[in-house]
A and B are shown apart, each in its own frame.
Chain A
Amino acid sequence: MDKTKKRVWVGLGLLAVAVVSVAVGQRSPGFSGEAPAYRQKGPSRARVTITEYSDFQCPKCGQAVPIVNKLLTTYPNDVRLVFHHAPLKQHKWAVLAAQAAESAGLQDKFWEYADHLFSKQTEWSPVLDPKPLFITYAKEIGLDVDLFTKDLESPLVAEKVRKEKEQADALEIPATPTFFINDRMLVGDTQLAGNGARYIEQDLAQ
């Protein structure tokens, strides 16, 4: 074999190694649309589903709230939001906050409570024990406080959040907030603000 042929074959071989190895190893985080009804917003038959993986103690997740809400109000008949807990281990109170939001969800006030947690994030994040604050917030949005407190301490609620966290870990959600618009992933509030509406428009046009 002459040198040129050898060179071409080696080059093609190396490129093939690159392409095949990436094709075999390629993995995009999947997502699940399954969530309790109280963690879903918008029409159930919407053509576009935004699946959100979020952490109540993450500042970027709070910054994403108005962006998500704007998308929901812009496309009231076509977009549905499904919320999943993805509490990060570096956020000390993220799991407890998720449990509090779940407890509010059991009284059908998940979204009001979630908004409260995000808007008061700087208040409860640094304290030594945020539980009293969580109970105060429950009172502020008109929840049955005794029931809320009981649910907040319930092993069933804790188990539900633990399973959600396990699911998020298994999906290798890269950061919070992570969104899927139907099957297209967006990481962070900036990507959602930049591409969210465009992806929705594209999916609606299909």
Chain B
Amino acid sequence: MTGRRASFLLGFAAPFFRVTAGAVLALSGYLKAVRHPAEFEATLASYWFFPGVLLAPLARIVPWLELVVGLFLAAGYFTRATALAGAALYMGFVGVLGQAILRKLPLKDCGCFGQAGPHLQPIQALSLDVVMVVFCLLVFFDREKNLSADRWIEK
């Protein structure tokens, strides 16, 4: 496949990748942001990864970060920057989940979507996050920005 053809195909597929990666991120942030922060703090503590002093601030900040970056990404607003931020967030989740799996921590639920959302096993969440990292990177390399807020703004 020529570079031009690949770029053309990516232009068509990128909106799907962008909306999917953004929506998953926004949904996981929303479902945690609407709940009491103590819940997510307890989830973070169960990973035995973060210093205790960071748990409360992270439990308050991360869901909002996910929600805002997810919404921006899904809408295609500052698309390349938010795709990069989304990839960074997903890679962070991969790292935290990966260390939990390697250490065989007894986690029944990744806690990614809070108490009310889908309950994924850590390995399922890790697989989803890896796919989302790929989606974000593909969006980052897409120059067309079809069906995005950026495209409308630049018109």
Residues of A within 8 A of B (CB): 3, 6-7, 10-11, 14-15, 17-18, 21-22, 25-29, 90, 172, 174-175, 185-188, 190-191, 194
Beyond the given A15-B68, A21-B30, A194-B52, please list 13 additional residue pairs across the A-B interface where CB-CB is below 8 A. Answer: A3-B154, A6-B153, A11-B77, A18-B30, A18-B64, A18-B68, A22-B33, A22-B67, A27-B34, A29-B36, A174-B35, A187-B38, A188-B45
B73 to chain A, nearest CB (A): 10
A172 to B36, CA, bound (A): 11
Asked whether, in the complex, the Cβ of B42 is within 8 Å of the Cβ of A175, the reply is yes
Residues of B within 8 A of A (CB): 30, 33-36, 38-39, 41-42, 45, 52, 64, 67-68, 71-72, 75, 77, 108, 115-116, 149, 152-154
Write 13 A-B pairs (CB below 8 A) sorted by A numbering. Answer: A10-B149, A11-B77, A14-B77, A15-B68, A18-B71, A22-B67, A26-B34, A90-B108, A172-B115, A186-B38, A187-B41, A191-B41, A191-B42
Q: How many A-B residue pairs have CB under 8 A?
A: 65
Q: Which residues of A contact B68 (CB under 8 A)?
A: 14-15, 18
**C-alpha spacing A61/B8, complex, angstroms:** 58
- What residues of B have a CB within 8 angstroms of the CB of A185 in the complex? 36, 38-39
Whether A28 contacts B30 by the Cβ 8 Å rule is no
For residue B72, which residues in chain A have a CB less than 8 angstroms away from its CB?
11, 14
Closest to B76 in A: A10
Tell me what chain A mostly uses at the interface: helix, strand, loop, or mixed. helix
Q: How far is the CB of B83 from chain A (nearest CB, A)?
A: 15
Q: A90: nearest residue on chain B (CB-CB)? A: B108
CB contact under 8 A between A27 and B77, given known A6-B152, A194-B52: no
Q: In the complex, what residues of A have CB within 8 A of residue B33's CB?
A: 22, 26
Min CB–CB distance A171 → chain B (angstroms)? 11
Assuming the A-B contacts A7-B153, A27-B34, A185-B36, are A17 and B42 also in contact, with contact meaning beta carbons closer than 8 angstroms in the complex? no
Residues from chain B with a CB closer than 8 A to the CB of A90 are 108
Complex CA gap A16/B45 in Å reads 31
Judge whether A28 and B153 touch: CB under 8 Å: no
Tell me the interface secondary structure of chain B in the complex: helix
Q: Is the beta-carbon distance between A10 and B75 smaller than 8 angstroms?
A: yes
Q: Are B39 and A174 closer than 8 Å at their CB atoms?
A: yes
How many angstroms from the CA of A28 to the CA of B34 in the assembled complex?
Answer: 8
For residue B36, which residues in chain A have a CB less than 8 angstroms away from its CB? 28-29, 174, 185
A174 touching B71, Cβ below 8 Å: no
Q: How far is the CA of A106 from the CA of B149 in the complex (A)?
A: 65
Q: Which residues of A contact B149 (CB under 8 A)?
A: 10
Chain A residues near B39 (CB, 8 Å)?
174-175, 185, 187
The 7 closest A-B pairs by CB, nearest first: A187-B42, A25-B34, A174-B39, A28-B36, A174-B115, A6-B153, A185-B38
| Chain A residues, Cβ within 8 Å of B77 | 10-11, 14
B82 to chain A, nearest CB (A): 10
CA distance A21 to B32 in the complex (A): 12
Shortest Cβ distance from A103 into chain B, in angstroms? 31
Q: Which residue of B lies closest to A175 (CB)?
A: B42
Instruction: Kindly list chain B residues whose C-beta atoms are within 8 Å of the C-beta of A190.
Output: 42, 45
